[in-house]
Amino acid sequence: MIAPNRCYGALMGSVAVVAFPDVIAYDLALAVEVFARVPLSNGENGYRVQVCGTEPVIAAGRVRIGTDHGLEALADADTIIVPGSNDVAAAAPGDLIAALRSAYTAGTRIASICTGAFTLAAAGLLDGKRATTHWFAADLFRAAYPAVRLDPDVLYVDEGQILTSAGASAGLDLCLYMVQRDHGAATAATAAKLAVAPLHRSGGQAQFIVRNRLPITIIGEQTELDSVLAWIEQNSHRELTLADIAEHAAMSVRTLNRHFQAETGQTPMQWVTGVRVRHAQELLERTTHGVERIGRDVGFTSAANFREQFRRLSGVAPQSYRNTFRQRTLDDTLLTSGHARRRSPGVFASR
């Protein structure tokens, strides 16, 4: 499927945000609010925003969303935003798939937020293209749509007519990026200030990924590596070798490699590195230890190797990760302790 040539970024004025059953309300509202608050120098807003539903009233988790426009309005939009769905295994409505295909053929710019990439992929709009989605759904996406070049480590991907974002707040990054592409950096900076968000964030989605975990398709199932993975979890701080792991698993190195590739998609030592990086992330969030000490404590033999591997897997340097997440951890701790203090008189009074 080839769309006609069209220049994207030249004041794409009409934005249609799609609403469908079980849509993620956060994704939908985020797109509506960002594009509805783009003041231009002439006093007008940069976009005309409308919500287009597969039905007049859409069930979206715990809320209901009323829509004034149906899918037929997508034909007149310059940009279509497809939010994520709470259940990625559920089939997208057939009339939505048809409308997206028609819009793509007409040259309309189409963007997805979070798991909205599943809907674009189901319509065949991502085949052969690079795309992203929420990191937690990456394994399911790869299995369902092998023709798509998935990159789960980035916040968003721009393929020209098609754009995709990672999960949750990455949709905000994508929307602000589109505003910048359409109206320039100054207008986008104003929109970012109104959203109380940075125009650009360092790093990508990689820094939010919980490493290392089994692929979603086998979580909850017993695997031949269960005891080995648990042992690595407890011993990753040691100077482990492939032979050490094979000896504990009572397997040959070749058999061990085969099982790891089948069950995790990684080699044993790649898994060990991922575990060490996750442990380092936890220490960066919860302690004041220096970066070099943390690298040693989790099993890296040199500070240079630690920094290299941490940046490779997380997308940011260890100190940048700490700057982002340590304050968040402290804020959560203060909030939790404050909440506990407020509740404690009632707890004791009830006894």
Query: Which structure tokens are listed for 84?
Result: 């994520």
End-to-end CA distance of the chain: 68
Q: Could you write out the three-class secondary structure of 55-82?
A: CCEEEECCEEEECCEEHHHHHHCCEEEE
What letter does residue 208 receive in the DSSP assignment?
G
CA distance 108 to 102: 9
Query: Which structure tokens are listed for 23?
Result: 């849509």
Higher per-residue confidence, 214 vs 61: 61
Instruction: Quote the pLDDT of residue 15.
Output: 97
Strands 69-70, 156-158: pairing is unpaired
* pLDDT, averaged across the chain: 85
Vertex 341: Cα angle to 336 and 346 (nearest 5): 120
Whether the pLDDT of residue 70 is over 90: the answer is yes
The predicted model gives 293-314 an average pLDDT of 94
pLDDT, one tens digit per residue, over 221-245 is 456 788 888 899 899 999 999 999 9
Instruction: Quote the pLDDT of residue 340.
Output: 41
Place 333 in a pLDDT band, splitting at 50, 70 and 90.
very low
CA distance 280 to 298: 6
Axis-axis angle for helices 291-298, 303-314 (nearest 10): 90
Q: DSSP 3-state assignment of 100?
A: helix
Query: Which structure tokens are listed for 203?
Result: 């790093």
Place 207 in a pLDDT band, splitting at 50, 70 and 90.
low
pLDDT, one tens digit per residue, over 117-147 is 999 999 999 999 999 999 889 999 999 999 9
Q: Could you write out the three-class secondary structure of 238-303?
A: CCCCHHHHHHHHCCCHHHHHHHHHHHHCCCHHHHHHHHHHHHHHHHHHHCCCCHHHHHHHHCCCCH
Instruction: Quote the pLDDT of residue 204.
Output: 55
The predicted model gives 23-36 an average pLDDT of 96
How many C-beta atoms surround the C-beta of residue 140 within 10 A? 18
The predicted model gives 321-331 an average pLDDT of 67
Higher per-residue confidence, 183 vs 52: 52
Reported pTM: 0.65
- Which among 177-191, 208-222, 277-291 has the top mean pLDDT? 277-291
In this structure, which amino acid lies at residue 40?
L
Q: Comparing C-alpha atoms, which of 2, 8, 5 is closest to residue 109?
A: 8
Instruction: Quote the pLDDT of residue 115.
Output: 96
